[in-house]
Amino acid sequence: MNTGELIEKSNQYRQKILKYIVGANAGHTGGSLSSIDIINVLYNDVLKVSPETFASPDRDRYIQSKGHCVEALFVVLADVGFFPEDDLNTLCQYKSHYIGHPTRKVKGVEQNTGALGHGLPLAVGTAIAAKLDEKDYRVFTLLGDGELPEGSNWEAALTGAHYKLDNLCAIIDKNTLQISGPTAEVCNTDPVDTKFESFGWAVKHVDGNDIKALQEAFSSLPFEKGKPNLIIAHTVKGKGVSFMENQVSWHHGVPNQEQYAQAIEELTAAANN
C-alpha cells in the first residue's frame, strides 16, 4: 500500500475507532488515536501476516502491549479481513468476544494483553524462538510510554539485548500523557533513548503520526545487526480531533453525540483536503 493510501486508511480508521467507542460507550480514545498510524503501517505495509497465513509458523508477529488501545487494533484487524467489521458492534457487550483488551478469541490477536509490561517479555520469547529455529519472521510489540515504569519491561530489555534479537522491534507510542497526567510528571522515564541504548538496543526516533516517516523507519530494520530495535514514536494523544489532542481527559473519555459529530466532521474535512 502506498503512502497516500495509508494516509486515507488512517483517517478511516480514526472515524471507525470513534464509532465503535461511542457504540460501546467505553474505550481508550486518546491512545487509540495516537497509535493508529503505527498499527495501520504495520498491518498494511510491514507485517507478513494475513488471515490466510495467521496459522503459519513463519508469520510475523505483532503483540500489543498497550492492550487498552484495543479499538485501534480491532478496526485494523477487521479491515485487513480477520473478521467482519460488523462484529465490532458487539464491542464490550454481554457475551461478546470483543472485550476491552486484546484476546486470542478474536482472530488475528497473537496474545491476550491488557495488564501492562507484558508485551515485551512475550515478544522477546517469540523472537528467541525464531532465532532458535533459524526462521526469518520478525516480532513487533507496541508499548505505551506510560507503561515503561513496569519493571518487567526492563527485565525484557536486558534479555532482548543479551540474545541479540535484531528480529525484534519494540515501538513506544510516546504520546506523553497517561491517565493521571503528563508522563514526565507521573514518573519521568526520559531519556528513554539512552536508557535503551545503554541496555544494548538500537534506537530511532520518528514522528509516530507521520505515515511516510513510519514506513521509512520500519523499512530500515534491523537498525544494527545483533541488537534489538526500538522505535520511539512521538505521537499526539487524541490525534486528528482538535478538541481531543493533548488532553488527558480523553485517555478514556467517550464522546457524546455532539462531540462525535464534530469529530467526524473534522476527520471528513481532513480526508477531503
Give the one residue of 148, 156, 170, 211 binding another protein; rule: CB under 8 A.
156
Q: Does 56 bind another protein (CB under 8 A)?
A: no
Q: Which of 112, 189, 259, 262 touches another protein (CB under 8 A)?
A: 112
CB closer to another protein out of 117 and 240: 117
Place of cell 497473537: 110
Cα 221 off chain centre by: 17
55 binds another protein (CB under 8 A): no
**CA dihedral over 216, 217, 219, 224, signed as positive or negative:** positive
Part of the chain binding another protein (CB under 8 A), chosen from 44-52, 125-133, 220-228, 258-266: 125-133
Q: Which residue in the set 132, 219, 258, 272 belongs to the binding site for another protein (CB under 8 A)?
A: 132
- Region binding another protein by CB under 8 A among candidate stretches 128-136, 177-185, 192-200, 207-215: 128-136
Residue 213 C-alpha cell reads as 516517516
Query: How far is the C-alpha of 32 from the C-alpha of 253, rounded, in Å?
Result: 11
Q: How far is the CB of 124 from another protein (least distance, A)?
A: 5
Q: Is 119 helix (H, G, I), strand (E, B) or coil?
A: helix
Determine how many CB atoms are found less than 10 A away from the CB of residue 201.
Answer: 22
CB 25 within 8 A of CB 88: no
- Report the residue number, 2 or 198, with the smaller CB distance to another protein: 198
Task: Examine residue 104 and tell whether it contacts another protein (CB under 8 A).
Answer: yes
What angle, rounded to 10 degrees, do the helices at 29-41 and 70-79 form?
40
Provide, rounded to whole angstroms, the least separation between the CB of residue 132 and another protein: 7
Number of residues that bind another protein (CB under 8 A): 30
Give the span between the Cα atoms of 201 and 169, in whole angstroms: 10
Residue with smaller CB distance to another protein, 195 or 205:
195
235 by Cβ neighbours in 10 Å (0-12 / 13-18 / 19+) ranks as: buried
Q: Which of 15, 29, 40, 113 binds another protein (CB under 8 A)?
A: 113
Minimal distance, residue 123 CB to another protein, in Å? 6
Nearer to another protein, 23 or 114 (CB): 114
CB 11 within 8 A of CB 240: yes
Site for another protein in 184-243 (CB under 8 A): none
Q: How far is the CB of 15 from another protein (least distance, A)?
A: 31
108 interacts with another protein by CB under 8 A? no
Left if phi > 0, otherwise alpha if psi is -120 to 50, otherwise beta: which for 135? Answer: beta
- DSSP class of residue 86 equals G
- In one-letter notation, the amino acid at residue 269 is A
Residues that bind another protein (CB under 8 A): 57, 104, 110-115, 117-118, 120-130, 132-133, 151-152, 155-156, 158-159, 162
